[in-house]
Amino acid sequence: MEQKDFLQRFGLLADIQETIFRIPFLTEAVHSFILQPYEDYIISKKLKICFELKENLSFLELNIVHCEITKQILQELKIINYGIQESIRIMMLGKDPKIEFYSMGDGPFRDPDIRIRNTYISKI
């Protein structure tokens, strides 16, 4: 199963959106998100969930946000849909997705394709 199909099959896009609305900080702070499925050097499937924040934050502020919110995001995802927990276990050998936060227009959100309004799944 291709990684993009895997993400859509398990409804991960909708579940990420629901997670955003369940965590008050994310509801106020997130501008958009992107899912980045990839394989590591030993060809294990991995998933990175990237959040673009509405404000430009310093590196220190981004690290604080990351430390405070990452566990909450993973807990909410697993509560929303047990299938997510199982798919993570099966497809990614029990590894949780990597969560990253970016200031507006940084990282994978830099130079968006203006022909596409929102891109939710990208390749690294």
* Chain segment 18-41, per-residue pLDDT in tens: 999 999 988 888 888 988 887 777
Contact at 8 Å (CB) between 38 and 48?
Answer: yes
Evaluate whether residue 16 is within a structural domain. yes
pTM of the model: 0.77
Lowest mean pLDDT among 10-19, 78-87, 108-117: 108-117
Over 50: is that where the pLDDT of 81 sits? yes
Tell me the mean pLDDT in the region 49-69. 86
- Decide the pairing of beta strands 98-102 and 30-39: unpaired
Q: Work out the burial of residue 27: count CB atoms within 10 Å of its CB; fewer than 13 is exposed, 13-18 middle, 19 or more buried.
A: exposed
Residue 109 DSSP one-character state: G
CATH of the domain at 105: 3.30.300
Tell me the mean pLDDT in the region 36-64. 82
Over 60: is that where the pLDDT of 13 sits? yes
Q: Which residue has the higher pLDDT, 54 or 84?
A: 54
Contact at 8 Å (CB) between 106 and 32?
Answer: no
- The predicted structure's pLDDT at residue 113: 62
Evaluate whether residue 118 is within a structural domain. no
Residue 92 lies in domain: 3-109
Evaluate whether residue 12 is within a structural domain. yes
Evaluate whether residue 124 is within a structural domain. no
Q: Interior CA angle at 88 toward 87 and 90, to 5°?
A: 60
Contact at 8 Å (CB) between 46 and 93?
Answer: no
**Number of structural domains found in the chain:** 1
Element (H, E) at 22: helix 12-22
Q: How far is CA 20 from the centre of its chain?
A: 10
